[in-house]
Amino acid sequence: MGPADGKGAVETVEAAPAKINLALHVTGQREDGYHLLDMLVTFTEAGDVIRIRHADEDSFSISGRFASDLLQSGASNNLVLKARDLLRSHARQRDIATTPVAIQLEKNLPVASGIGGGSADAAAALRGLIHHWQLDIGDEDLSGIALTLGADVPMCLASKPLIAQGIGEELTLLTQFPQLALVLVNPLKGVSTPQIFRLLAHKQNEPLPAPPDDEGESWLPTMDGLRNDLQLPAISLLPEINDVLAMLRSEGADLARMSGSGATCFGIFSSLQKAEAAAARLRERKPGWYVQETMSIAGRVL
């Protein structure tokens, strides 16, 4: 049976892992205003979920802890719908029919929080719809669609440890990158990414160093010497970010840093058990915050 007969899987489920910027170095700015970045990125088992079912007509629904925040910003503009429409248009140009779909987004990640929620959702929609519609699409075409949706979408499409350069489209997968025990914390207060970049004092900073020769555990001490160039301007806008970092360190994090443009911060712990214990204590201290213990997705080939 082909994709046009609508008899595919009863439900296609696709994870949208949180994207964690373990380091973000701003190395320059293009004439069109886009900033040049060097980013060390990993993804976590925590994230949103996309569910796709065959339907008589297209529909889109949002559930989960942060559904109301997303609905307030306007569901009709959601990147998931843009991903669906771009992929369908690509198929139509090649005379491939695509059936109507009911898409549900389970929104577990805070909105606009520096951990790639919207981009991860769009990438998961692309992966899920390609499977659901049984499309055969080349890597170059898929990368082009992803980049049209946003600079972070190509890396979220990969959802594996990587270094991203340029505006985020130049990807180098790190197949030996270690799995990390993490606690993610967000005070659920927003910060403006454009304003953070405007406050950035220096835009010609040192790039990431070359990956360790053996990768593996050598990354852990290497990460300590890296940085997020957006962290200080973000703290100037939202001092609570500094409080989050201090709390993570006080709970035993080996490294605490802001992810992306914030306000989510992460702490790296020596084991999942320690991360779980720290997260439990942080939830007691700050019951209104987003606190999530998780493991990163390993790059290591087992």
Q: Which residues are catalytic?
A: 19, 152
CA distance 24 to 193: 14
By CB atoms closer than 10 A (0-12, 13-18, 19+), residue 199 is: middle
CA distance 114 to 123: 16
Specify the pairing of strand 265-269 against strand 12-29. unpaired
From 296, 261, 295, 292, select the one nearest 279 (Cα to Cα): 292
What lies within 8 Å, CB to CB, of 96 at 6+ separation is: 3, 4, 133, 135
CA distance 278 to 253: 9
Tokens of 119: 């981009």
From 210, 224, 218, select the one nearest 254 (Cα to Cα): 224
CA distance 88 to 125: 12
From 162, 263, 177, 190, select the one nearest 220 (Cα to Cα): 177
What lies within 8 Å, CB to CB, of 85 at 6+ separation is: none
CA distance 86 to 146: 9
